[in-house]
């Protein structure tokens, strides 16, 4: 039987930050990662808003954090599938394809993933985060796919970053972003909004991306040329394991207050999988830090009570 103080589900930046804090508090800490560690940050070609590095590749950053955690004594198991979980009571049980683990606390840091464009074309110029990748497109034309809050807000962000022109397309017959954001976007002459429109083809030639757009009502097609594509057709939090167990919001994100406590004692949440407004590396680290410190306090409180 393998017994831990903290088991962390997810080896992204939230989970690895929590692990560093956990092990430094003298707690036996295990990270279970279903792929290899790094999470979404591995997708970031170049990160320019991480304090301490003017520029750093996402994979480079995450390799450093993982190696720091390992050197401190965190146990990490990768490519592991969680098959079942029991979160009630003082001893939590995690069943995996590599054995059963028991822990006093659990930190859920399982993140989320953007829904990718269904057109499978390999390109470094397809992005899912304007804050992360927008500055590379100053003076250049881009396509934004998705007319919800994320698409419209990131389009406004791209305009503030000085992109040349934006074509924003939405599959449905209207935009879904907040009215005030829509109005701000539509007031900008550099923006062409096309509703009832979807991407149906893409040809990449060097930096140039020729996108075929299709009108979903008339089936009429047209081609546009852009340098980059920003995709906002939804995100899926990795919370299917927790349905009916943890309190989730209507989109499946885990509910917690600023102390990262979930509705179950000894179960904490950190990072993008938590319901919150800003999802960035720094905010995920913030969550991971707090979750580990709260887990430590919870463990010590229970130990005092059982003496």
Ligand X SMILES: Cc1cc2nc3c(=O)[nH]c(=O)nc-3n(C[C@H](O)[C@H](O)[C@H](O)COP(=O)(O)OP(=O)(O)OC[C@H]3O[C@@H](n4cnc5c(N)ncnc54)[C@H](O)[C@@H]3O)c2cc1C
Q: Which residues bind ligand X (CB under 6 A)?
A: 9-15, 32-35, 39-41, 43-44, 47, 49, 82, 109-112, 114, 127-129, 132, 238, 241, 271-272, 279-282, 284
Catalytic residue among 5, 37, 132, 141: 132
Burial of residue 95 (CB within 10 Å: 0-12, 13-18, 19+) is middle
Spatial CA neighbour of 154 closest among 127, 174, 172, 179: 127
CB neighbourhood size of 83 (10 A) = 12
Spatial CA neighbour of 241 closest among 89, 46, 110, 152: 110
Which residue pairs from 191-195 have beta carbons closer than 8 angstroms and sit at least 24 positions apart in sequence? 191/155, 191/159, 191/165, 191/166, 191/167, 192/165, 192/166, 192/167, 192/168, 193/147, 193/168, 193/169, 194/167, 194/168, 194/169, 194/170, 195/147, 195/169, 195/170
Q: Nearest approach, Cβ of 131 to ligand X (angstroms)?
A: 7
Cβ proximity to ligand X: between 193 and 269 the closer is: 269
Q: Nearest approach, Cβ of 76 to ligand X (angstroms)?
A: 11
Q: Nearest approach, Cβ of 33 to ligand X (angstroms)?
A: 5
Catalytic residue among 5, 133, 154, 272: 133
Cβ proximity to ligand X: between 14 and 74 the closer is: 14
Active site residue 153: no
Cβ proximity to ligand X: between 9 and 166 the closer is: 9
Active site residue 287: no
Q: Nearest approach, Cβ of 23 to ligand X (angstroms)?
A: 17
Centroid of chain to Cα 49: 16
Catalytic residue among 37, 97, 124, 129: 129
Cβ proximity to ligand X: between 33 and 141 the closer is: 33
Q: Nearest approach, Cβ of 9 to ligand X (angstroms)?
A: 5
The Cα–Cα gap between 289 and 307 comes to 28
Active site residue 129: yes
| 3-class DSSP assignment, residue 181 | helix
Residues with active-site annotation:
129, 132-133
């Amino acid at each position: 039987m393998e017994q831990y103080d903290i088991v962390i589900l997810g080896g992204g930046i939230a989970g690895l930050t929590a692990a560093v804090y956990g092990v430094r508090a003298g707690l036996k800490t295990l990270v279970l990662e279903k792929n290899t560690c790094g999470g979404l940050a591995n997708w970031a070609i170049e990160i320019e808003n991480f304090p301490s590095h003017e520029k750093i590749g996402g994979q480079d950053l995450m390799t450093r954090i993982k190696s720091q955690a390992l050197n401190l004594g965190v146990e990490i198991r990768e490519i592991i599938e969680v098959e079942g979980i029991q979160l009630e009571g003082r001893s939590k049980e995690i069943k995996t394809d590599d054995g059963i683990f028991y822990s006093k606390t659990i930190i859920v840091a399982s993140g989320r993933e953007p829904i990718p464009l269904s057109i499978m074309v390999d390109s470094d110029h397809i992005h899912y985060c304007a804050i992360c990748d927008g500055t590379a497109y100053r003076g250049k034309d881009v396509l934004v796919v998705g007319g919800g809050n994320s698409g419209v807000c990131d389009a406004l962000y791209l305009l503030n970053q000085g992109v040349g022109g934006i074509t924003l397309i939405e599959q449905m017959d209207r935009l879904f972003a907040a009215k005030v954001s829509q109005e701000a976007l539509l007031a900008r002459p550099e923006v062409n909004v096309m509703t009832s429109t979807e991407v149906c083809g893409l040809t990449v030639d060097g930096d140039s991306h020729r996108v075929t757009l299709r009108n979903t009502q008339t089936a009429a097609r047209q081609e546009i040329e852009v340098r980059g594509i920003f995709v906002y057709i939804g995100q899926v939090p990795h919370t299917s394991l927790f349905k009916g167990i943890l309190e989730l919001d209507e989109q499946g994100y885990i509910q917690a207050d600023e102390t990262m406590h979930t509705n179950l004692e000894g179960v904490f949440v950190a990072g993008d999988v938590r319901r919150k407004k800003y999802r960035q590396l720094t905010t995920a680290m913030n969550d991971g830090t707090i979750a580990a410190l709260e887990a430590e306090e919870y463990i010590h409180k229970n130990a005092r009570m059982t003496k």
